[in-house]
C-alpha cells in the first residue's frame, strides 16, 4: 500500500501536470507587429446561426474576435482550436481604409450599404461588431493612417485616395482689343456630389435635388460629406446634392458618395451670366417681381430682398447676374445664360454670314425694290431681358425682325421712290422713331441704338434704274438751269455797269447791246436743245407720275426757261 504522503505527492504532481497542460494549451503570445485569429474546432460547441460563417467566441469556426500583440489566455485553445498569426495591416499616410464586412446582418431591400455609424474600435473588434448588429457590406467610417489588427476573414480593407479637386489647363476664347484669341487658362473645377444613402427624395413640389441637411442639437456640419454619420443624423437625402465641393482635398467614402469634377463656367468681358435656379422651394408672391404676362403666364424674376430679408433657396431667375470671370454653376440646380451687354449690330443684307435677307418694300408710286439695312441694339437689364425675351437670338428673330419689317413696309407705302434717294434721312428717322416706340427699355429691357439704310438694290429693277437715271439727269438740268440764271444775272449787272461807264464817257453802247443780244440768242438755243433731249428720255419711262409730267412739260417748251430768265433781266425783257 502507498503511504498517504506518497498519494498526496502524486496528486500534487498530477495537479501540477494538469495545470501545466492547461496553461500550455491555453496561453499563447502574439508578436509586437502581429495579430492572431482563432479557428475553434471543439465538436460540442454550437455552430454560428444559419447564413453566417464567422463565429462568436465559443462557437465552432473562425472567431470574429481578433487578438493583438501580447499574451492571451483561452482555455484549451491549442487543443481544440487553431491559432494563426498575421502581420498588422498598415494604412499609409495620405490614404484611408475602406472597411467592407463579409458577414453580419443583411442589408435592407433598398439599401446599397449600411447606414449604421459603427465606431472604429467596434469595427476592428469583430465580435463586438456582430453582437451590436453590424451589417454586411461597406461601412460608413474610414480608417485613418496607422497600423491595425482586424479580422481579415470578416473584413476586407481597401485603400483609397482622397478626392482632390484641382484646376485644369484649357484653351479659352477671349476678346482682346476687339480681336478674338485662344488663350491658355487655368480653369478651376468644383465637385458635383451625389449621395447614395439617406432619406428618399420627396417628389412633391417638383424637387429635383436633395434638401440641404438641417442643423440640430448634435451636429452643425457634415464636414463636406466627410462625416457621413453626421450627414445621416442631419436628415440628409439621397441623390444629387445642392451643395458643391470647392477646390481642395477631401476624405470621401466612395461607396456612399460620388464626386464628379465639373469645370467652372467662364464669362468673357462684355458679357454677364443670368442664372435660372431650379433648386429650393417655390417663391411666394411677395418674393417675385411681376414684369407682365405672356400667353396667360406671368413673367417674373426673383426679388433680391423682401423687408430686408434676402431671398435665397428659391426657384426662378436670380435678380443679380454674374460678371466676367470664372463661376461655379451647378449643372443640375442652375442654368446659365450668357448675355452680350455690348452694342450689337444686326444686318439685313445679301452677305452669306448675316442672318436676314434684304427687305422687299413697295412705294406709293408703284415701285418695289430691296433695301439693305442694319439695326444696333443693346441689352440694359440682363435678368429681366431674359425673363421677357429669352435669349438674344430669340429676341432678334421673334421681335426685332418682324417689327422692323412691318415698320419699313408701312413707311415705304407712304413714300414715293425718289424720297428713298433724296430724303433718306427723313425715312431713317421715321423708322427709328417707330422702332424705339415699340422696342424700349420699359417693356423689353433693351435699347435700339440706331437704324441705317446701307444700300438700295436698283440693279435688279430695269424700270427703276432707268427712272433714277432720268431723275439724275433732271436734277443735273435744274442745276445747270440755276447756273445759267446766275450767269445771266451777272452778265446783266456787267452790262449795266458798262452802260453807266459809257454814258459817263459819252461813248456808245451799241456794240455792247448787240453782244448781249447774241449771247441771249445762243442761250435760248442751248436750253431748247437740252429740253428736247430730256423730254425724249422721259417718254421712255413707264408710269404717269406728276413729277415726270412736269419735267416733260418744261422740256417740251423752250420758252419755259426763257420766261424764267426774264424775271432776272432789267425791265423784264432779255438783254
Residues 95-120, mean pLDDT to the nearest whole number: 88
Q: Output the average pLDDT for the chain.
A: 83
pLDDT at 99: 92
pLDDT digits (tens, 9 = 90+) for 335-364: 999 999 999 999 999 888 888 999 999 988
Residues 396-414, mean pLDDT to the nearest whole number: 94
Evaluate if residue 152 carries a pLDDT over 80.
yes
pLDDT at 565: 47
3-state secondary structure of 24: helix
pLDDT digits (tens, 9 = 90+) for 502-528: 666 555 545 545 555 655 565 565 555
pLDDT at 176: 56
Residues 304-321, mean pLDDT to the nearest whole number: 89
Evaluate if residue 458 carries a pLDDT over 80.
no
pLDDT at 426: 93
Count CA atoms closer than 13 A to 358's CA, side-chain side.
17
Bridge partners (DSSP) of residue 451 are 375
Give 224's DSSP letter: T
Candidates 70, 52, 218, 189; CA nearest to 127 is 52
- Which is more confident, 294 or 83? 83
3-state secondary structure of 394: helix
pLDDT at 269: 87
> Cell for 321?
447676374
Evaluate if residue 445 carries a pLDDT over 90.
yes
Beta-sheet pairing, 89-91 with 146-148: antiparallel
Evaluate if residue 574 carries a pLDDT over 50.
no
pLDDT digits (tens, 9 = 90+) for 40-97: 999 899 999 888 899 998 899 999 999 989 999 999 999 999 999 999 999 999 999 9
HEC string for 420-479: HHHCHHHHHHHHHHHHHHHCCCCCCCEEEEEEEEEEEECCCCHHHHHHHHHHHHHHHHHH
pLDDT at 546: 44
Residues 442-448, mean pLDDT to the nearest whole number: 92
Evaluate if residue 225 carries a pLDDT over 50.
yes
Q: Give the rounded percent of residues in the chain with a pLDDT score beyond 90.
A: 50
Q: Tell me the pTM.
A: 0.71
Euclidean distance between the first and the last CA atom of the chain, given in angstroms as a whole number: 190
Evaluate if residue 202 carries a pLDDT over 80.
no
Instruction: Give the whole-angstrom CA distance, residue 437 versus residue 431.
Output: 10
- Which is more confident, 215 or 530? 215
pLDDT at 280: 82
Residues 27-43, mean pLDDT to the nearest whole number: 93
Evaluate if residue 387 carries a pLDDT over 80.
yes
pLDDT at 471: 63
How many CB atoms sit inside 10 A of residue 471's CB?
Answer: 19
Evaluate if residue 303 carries a pLDDT over 50.
yes
How many CB atoms sit inside 10 A of residue 475's CB?
Answer: 13
In angstroms, how far is CA 94 from the centroid of its own chain?
Answer: 37
Count CA atoms closer than 13 A to 36's CA, side-chain side.
23
pLDDT digits (tens, 9 = 90+) for 189-199: 999 999 999 99
Q: Give the rounded percent of residues in the chain with a pLDDT score beyond 70.
A: 79
Evaluate if residue 366 carries a pLDDT over 90.
no
pLDDT digits (tens, 9 = 90+) for 531-571: 555 555 445 544 444 444 444 555 445 555 555 445 444 54
Amino acid at each position: 500500500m502507498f503511504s498517504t504522503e506518497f498519494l498526496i505527492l502524486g496528486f500534487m504532481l498530477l495537479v501540477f501536470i494538469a495545470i501545466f497542460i492547461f496553461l500550455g494549451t491555453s496561453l499563447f503570445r502574439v508578436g509586437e507587429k502581429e495579430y492572431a485569429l482563432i479557428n475553434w474546432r471543439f465538436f460540442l460547441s454550437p455552430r454560428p446561426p444559419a447564413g453566417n460563417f464567422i463565429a462568436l467566441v465559443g462557437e465552432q469556426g473562425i472567431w470574429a474576435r481578433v487578438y493583438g500583440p501580447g499574451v492571451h489566455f483561452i482555455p484549451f485553445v491549442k487543443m481544440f482550436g487553431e491559432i494563426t498569426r498575421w502581420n498588422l495591416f498598415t494604412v499609409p499616410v495620405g490614404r484611408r481604409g475602406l472597411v467592407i464586412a463579409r458577414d453580419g446582418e443583411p442589408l435592407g431591400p433598398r439599401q446599397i450599404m449600411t447606414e449604421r455609424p459603427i465606431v472604429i474600435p467596434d469595427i476592428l473588434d469583430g465580435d463586438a461588431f456582430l453582437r451590436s448588429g453590424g451589417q454586411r457590406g461597406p461601412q460608413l467610417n474610414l480608417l485613418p493612417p496607422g497600423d491595425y489588427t482586424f479580422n481579415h476573414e470578416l473584413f476586407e480593407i481597401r485603400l483609397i485616395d482622397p478626392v482632390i479637386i484641382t484646376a485644369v489647363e484649357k484653351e479659352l476664347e477671349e476678346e482682346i482689343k476687339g480681336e478674338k484669341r485662344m488663350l491658355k487658362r487655368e480653369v478651376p473645377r468644383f465637385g458635383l456630389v451625389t449621395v447614395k444613402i439617406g432619406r428618399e427624395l420627396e417628389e412633391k413640389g417638383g424637387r429635383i435635388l436633395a434638401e440641404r441637411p438641417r442643423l440640430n442639437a448634435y451636429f452643425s456640419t457634415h464636414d463636406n460629406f466627410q462625416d457621413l454619420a453626421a450627414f445621416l443624423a442631419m436628415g440628409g437625402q439621397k441623390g444629387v446634392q445642392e451643395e458643391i465641393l470647392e477646390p481642395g482635398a477631401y476624405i470621401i467614402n466612395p461607396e456612399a458618395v460620388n464626386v464628379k469634377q465639373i469645370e467652372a463656367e467662364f464669362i468673357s468681358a462684355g458679357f454677364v451670366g443670368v442664372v435660372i435656379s431650379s433648386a429650393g422651394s417655390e417663391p411666394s408672391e411677395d418674393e417675385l417681381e411681376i414684369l407682365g404676362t405672356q400667353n396667360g403666364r406671368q413673367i417674373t424674376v426673383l426679388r433680391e430682398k423682401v423687408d430686408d430679408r434676402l431671398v435665397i433657396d428659391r426657384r426662378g431667375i436670380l435678380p443679380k447676374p454674374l460678371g466676367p470671370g470664372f463661376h461655379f454653376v451647378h449643372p443640375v440646380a442652375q442654368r446659365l445664360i450668357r448675355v452680350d451687354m455690348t452694342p450689337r449690330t444686326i444686318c439685313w443684307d445679301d452677305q452669306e454670314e448675316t442672318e436676314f435677307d434684304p427687305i422687299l418694300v413697295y412705294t406709293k408710286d408703284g415701285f418695289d425694290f430691296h433695301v439693305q439695312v442694319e439695326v444696333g441694339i443693346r441689352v440694359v437689364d440682363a435678368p429681366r431681358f431674359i425673363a421677357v425675351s429669352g435669349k438674344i437670338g430669340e429676341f432678334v428673330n421673334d421681335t426685332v425682325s418682324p417689327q422692323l419689317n412691318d415698320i419699313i413696309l408701312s413707311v415705304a407705302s407712304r413714300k414715293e421712290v425718289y424720297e428713298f434717294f433724296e430724303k433718306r434721312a427723313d425715312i431713317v428717322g421715321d423708322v427709328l422713331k417707330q422702332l424705339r416706340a415699340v422696342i424700349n427699355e420699359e417693356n423689353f429691357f433693351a435699347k435700339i441704338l440706331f437704324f441705317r439704310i446701307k444700300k438700295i438694290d436698283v440693279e435688279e429693277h430695269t424700270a427703276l434704274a432707268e427712272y433714277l437715271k432720268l431723275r439724275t439727269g433732271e436734277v443735273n438740268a435744274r442745276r445747270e438751269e440755276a447756273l445759267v440764271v446766275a450767269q445771266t444775272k451777272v452778265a446783266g449787272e456787267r452790262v449795266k455797269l458798262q452802260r453807266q461807264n459809257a454814258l459817263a464817257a459819252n461813248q456808245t453802247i451799241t456794240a455792247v447791246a448787240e453782244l448781249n443780244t447774241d449771247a441771249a440768242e445762243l442761250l435760248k438755243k442751248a436750253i431748247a436743245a437740252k429740253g428736247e433731249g430730256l423730254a425724249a428720255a422721259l417718254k421712255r419711262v413707264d408710269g404717269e407720275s406728276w413729277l415726270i409730267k412736269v419735267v416733260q412739260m418744261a422740256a417740251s417748251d423752250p420758252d419755259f426757261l426763257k420766261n424764267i430768265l426774264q424775271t432776272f433781266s432789267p425791265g423784264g425783257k432779255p438783254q
